[in-house]
Amino acid sequence: MNEGTFTALRTQLQEAATAFADGPGALEGILLGIVDDVDRAVREPLEIFPVCHHSPASALAMARRLREKQPKVVYLELCEDMAPLLTELRNCRLPVAVQAFATEVDGFPAEWAPLSVVAPITEVSAEYQAIAYALDTPGVELVLVDRSSDHVFQWQERDGTGGEPADPDAPSADAEAALHGDAVGVEIGDLRPRFAELEEHLLRHGRVRHWSEWWHQYVELPLGDSDHDTYRQVMLLIGSLFRRLAPGDPHRVRVDEDRERYMWTRMRRHLAATGTDPADALYVCGAFHAASRVAEFGVHGTDTFEISPPSATKWQHGLIPSSHAAIEAQFGLAAGSVSIAATEWAKNLKRTRVKPYRLTGQAGRKASKKAAKALATAAPAVGSAASDKLTGFLQRPPVLDRLDEEELLGWSVEIVRAARRNGYLASTADAIAVFETSILLAGMRDRAKPTPYDFQDAAVTCIEKDTVPGRRDVRRLVEIMLGGDRTGQVGYDALPPLARDVHDRLAPLNLKLQQRGVQRALLDMASRPELEQCSDVLWMLRHLMPHGAARPIMGERKLGERPIQESWDLALGTHQRALIELGYEGVSIEQVLEQRLRRTAYGPQATTATVLEAVEDATLYLRSRRLADELGGRALEVLATERSVDGAPEVLRRVRGLLAYYRTSEPALPQWIESFVKTGYAHYCTLLPTAFTDDDASVRQVAAMLGFLFSMESLALSLGCDRNQLELAVAQSHPEDPAKTALLWAAKTQLGTLSRADLRARCDELLGNPLVLPAYPRYLSGFLHALEPVPGLADFVVEAVSNAFARLPDPVLLPWLPTLITTLRSGGADLTPLLIREAGRVFPGRLAALDAWTPPWRAEPAHTAVRPARDRASGPRGLPLLAAHPATCDAVADLLGCDGGWETAGPAPAGAALPARHPETARALGALLGSP
């Protein structure tokens, strides 16, 4: 290209700047600088192809240019470490995203973990056309030149994400979290003004609502039928305009320039290493980066940029499913814009008859041999000097497309049909109204042909009156009708080893697990024992994957129990991303589960309860005694360092379950659980007096501590613990809270230091004291929690509640009755069934028997019979059974080595024979006891 290509355009822009700005100045510098950027880019020996991500016009222009030029090397703006994954795209159904994932970071802040970078790819993108061309054309090399995933985070700000605020027109975060999660998106070809005032100006004067609609109306449609030079120069113009008018965040501007230096450095090194002629190469990048002004720009740029080495973080790479909604969320586009772009892409292909590139085997299709042969033998087009296309494009008035009444009428009829299916009272009149309103809105916005956005506004205005009868509003129905939220799928061959292993192990279920949606799986292990392995896999997936991926409908997994029949709702296809990311953590789900259990147990926030839960999961899902013993030892370490009782209820529940399991399934208890019981006994005895007086310790937590001490007492004493430690701890406890006071009384009753009679007397004293009556429900709450450590007090708690209802008058009882009910429900809901069961046992079963019924605690003294004293003079009654069968007694005596014989019963007892035989022992015992 000669130097005077854009002379006429420079002259016109200089005159315009002088006229509008009253002389040369900043405006002239901006306008002429834009032309200089375009001129610099088009004169570069290495052809630069500027694109906008997911733009039908860019994809169409790319397909045309590739068939004309047929470059031997394609440089693509994409993370260079993602190159090996691109060949797996042929095994997927687009849209999908190329992902780099790291669970453990080395060189980055720990709070950033896990690290994730995604780059979505759809058929409606110039990048996919370049990838398909390079991978399916012999002799063509595809080189990714953008910074690696590791450099993405190396250049990230340490005190924040450095991102821009979310677009109000963007979809909700739910769509992004469903597929791309919290990943950092690589915005390939992102093209959007970063100058807020500029974007607002464009939207206002373009009479559109959001940026996606402006781009569709003023860029997509005019460039859809343009030639290569016009497309290229216009895209360079837009990129330069946005770049020069964007003040931008200094950090983001610096990162953008470093990316451009990085890419040009990589391309120059590749050209030098391979000896490739720049004329045989094509550089595909975003229009924003194509208009770069860095010194490293171009084949003959400077080589002063130093690429930093990667960190020690180990990255995993794979493909994950993507969707239109997830892409819109990542790029800040309006909802439905990617679906509308897909519809526009199909219309452009039909109108222009351009044959796009498609990977062989993509979605079950095969490229024809004729096309492949023609592609291989076609000669590259002879390059010619391009002329100035910008002047004509900028001066050309907008082309008014004629109204396609058939298309608009079909849209109107279809949206009414969809609305009726979703509960709207729509009719043919509404279809006519939508048709006419679309034309009216297009006219008000200076358009001869209604766009999909005009039709969407018209449908909302005419059909959606004031309420939405179903799940979807009319705007969403239009999006679905124009293409919907298409979701991609990663094929079996492109899955990581873990995901393929899961599908292989679940093959006996005979389900299409890659299909989206919920599928019901029925497992009858009694008739098909091989399904038990499927059950193990499903339970591990339920533990590892998000809720809904594997949800049990019937059946449960408990310690010591084996499943017989189970029913599951599976949605592995819907949660394919989560399954793929499991493959980044290991080669099997057992390995991933073991790693996560260890990470939980050895984490800084690990508590005794969480470590015991990990022990239970290791036993329940992995059946690994080795891992359970290791994590059990970790639980013992954590327990010894805890100084609070917050997790006492959970610790008690899990230790009881593990003890019951080991006692029924193992010949002996593991060493770690014996040490845990011994250490826990001493630990809770030490914390007990403080917990009784601590306001932060709830009565439920103190009751759990007592439950541990009383239920584990026999085992702890057999292991060498001292019961005096517990008695001293209870004696040193002096609570002030009524609930804890009642709990202490129950503990003393269990230890034998407080009799039932004294406990009953204290409760009677509480009921007789008017000053204490308002706090009596709290005492009852303490007694209710006492059923955890002392379940034998269930009858006494029933007695205490019954006495309150029997003795208190209604003016006293009714005011605190709601407090009693709420206290019982909130404080001891899990123990209330025990109380109700005991009440059902004590109270009569029929209403008629209630009048003559006497409470057991009142009837007990009347029915207590005094045992008559034994008349020692009457002598022994004898043992008639031994006299009737003397042979049995003789045999036992011989076995024990007794040499005595049978004696005849005399009138008086013969006394004890042993003291008479050994009088020294009797005298020594008497002297020890102090007997005279």
Instruction: Tell whether the model's pLDDT for residue 813 goes beyond 70.
Output: yes
Instruction: Tell whether the model's pLDDT for residue 804 goes beyond 50.
Output: yes
Phi and psi of 145, rounded to 5°? -120, -5
pLDDT tens for 550-584 read 999 998 888 888 888 999 999 998 888 889 888 88
- Tell me the mean pLDDT in the region 21-42: 66
Instruction: Tell whether the model's pLDDT for residue 611 goes beyond 90.
Output: yes
Q: Which ranges of 356-448 would DSSP assign to H, the alpha helix?
A: 369-377, 390-395, 405-421, 428-444
Tokens 């969480």 belong to 610
pLDDT at 30: 62
What is the residue type of 571? A
Instruction: Tell whether the model's pLDDT for residue 389 goes beyond 80.
Output: no
- Tell me the mean pLDDT in the region 136-157: 88
Q: Are strands 96-102 and 115-121 parallel, antiparallel or unpaired?
A: antiparallel
Give CA–CA dist 58/52, Å, rounded: 6
Closest CA to 792 of 681, 710, 704, 702: 710
Strand, coil or helix: what is 118? strand
**203 compared with 90, residue with greater pLDDT:** 90
Closest CA to 95 of 62, 68, 119: 119
Give CA–CA dist 49/70, Å, rounded: 13
Phi and psi of 253, rounded to 5°? -60, -40
Instruction: Tell whether the model's pLDDT for residue 911 goes beyond 70.
Output: no
Judge residue 818's burial from the number of C-beta atoms within 10 Å of its C-beta, 0-12 exposed, 13-18 middle, 19 or more buried: exposed
What is the residue type of 427? S
> What's the whole-model pTM score?
0.71
pLDDT at 485: 66
**90 compared with 53, residue with greater pLDDT:** 90
pLDDT tens for 638-664 read 998 888 888 888 999 999 999 999 988
- Asked if 739 and 781 touch (Cβ cutoff 8 Å), the reply is yes
Q: Which ranges of 506-624 would DSSP assign to H, the alpha helix?
A: 531-544, 576-583, 589-601, 608-617
Q: Are strands 73-79 and 281-286 parallel, antiparallel or unpaired?
A: parallel
pLDDT at 28: 52
- Tell me the mean pLDDT in the region 743-768: 89
Give CA–CA dist 657/664, Å, rounded: 11
- Asked if 119 and 185 touch (Cβ cutoff 8 Å), the reply is yes
As a residue count, the chain comes to: 932
Sign of CA dihedral 274, 276, 278, 280: negative
β-bridge partners, 552? 568
Phi and psi of 157, rounded to 5°? -65, 135
pLDDT at 397: 59
- Asked if 291 and 79 touch (Cβ cutoff 8 Å), the reply is no
% of residues, the chain, pLDDT over 70: 81
Give CA–CA dist 738/769, Å, rounded: 14
The mean pLDDT of the chain is: 80
Instruction: Tell whether the model's pLDDT for residue 847 goes beyond 60.
Output: yes
Q: Which of 2-16, 876-890, 895-909 has the highest mean pLDDT?
A: 876-890
Lowest mean pLDDT among 131-145, 711-725, 905-919: 905-919
Instruction: Tell whether the model's pLDDT for residue 384 goes beyond 60.
Output: no
pLDDT tens for 677-696 read 999 999 999 999 999 998 88
**219 compared with 29, residue with greater pLDDT:** 219
**768 compared with 386, residue with greater pLDDT:** 768
Lowest mean pLDDT among 371-380, 624-633, 737-746, 849-858: 371-380
- Tell me the mean pLDDT in the region 192-218: 68
Give CA–CA dist 652/858, Å, rounded: 36
Give CA–CA dist 463/396, Å, rounded: 38
Instruction: Tell whether the model's pLDDT for residue 33 goes beyond 90.
Output: no
Closest CA to 672 of 615, 712, 721: 615
pLDDT at 379: 40
Instruction: Tell whether the model's pLDDT for residue 177 goes beyond 50.
Output: no
pLDDT at 160: 45
pLDDT at 539: 93
- Tell me the mean pLDDT in the region 447-463: 83
- pLDDT tier for residue 246 given thresholds of 50, 70 and 90: low
% of residues, the chain, pLDDT over 90: 17
Instruction: Tell whether the model's pLDDT for residue 162 goes beyond 70.
Output: no
Instruction: Tell whether the model's pLDDT for residue 614 goes beyond 90.
Output: yes
Give CA–CA dist 203/209, Å, rounded: 6
Give CA–CA dist 78/266, Å, rounded: 12
- Tell me the mean pLDDT in the region 856-874: 51
- Tell me the mean pLDDT in the region 581-599: 90
Strand, coil or helix: what is 556? coil
pLDDT tens for 37-51 read 788 888 888 999 988
Instruction: Tell whether the model's pLDDT for residue 893 goes beyond 60.
Output: yes
pLDDT tens for 280-322 read 999 998 888 888 888 888 888 888 888 888 888 888 888 888 8
Instruction: Tell whether the model's pLDDT for residue 60 goes beyond 50.
Output: yes
Phi and psi of 436, rounded to 5°? -70, -35
CA triple 412-417-420, angle to 5 deg: 125
pLDDT at 568: 92
- pLDDT tier for residue 920 given thresholds of 50, 70 and 90: confident
pLDDT at 514: 86
Q: How many CB atoms lie within 10 A of CB 515?
A: 13
Lowest mean pLDDT among 344-358, 448-462, 810-824: 810-824
Lowest mean pLDDT among 91-100, 165-174, 485-494, 531-540: 165-174
pLDDT at 167: 44
β-bridge partners, 281? 73
Record the tokens describing residue 3, joined without a space: 């130097």
pLDDT at 867: 45
Instruction: Tell whether the model's pLDDT for residue 2 goes beyond 70.
Output: no
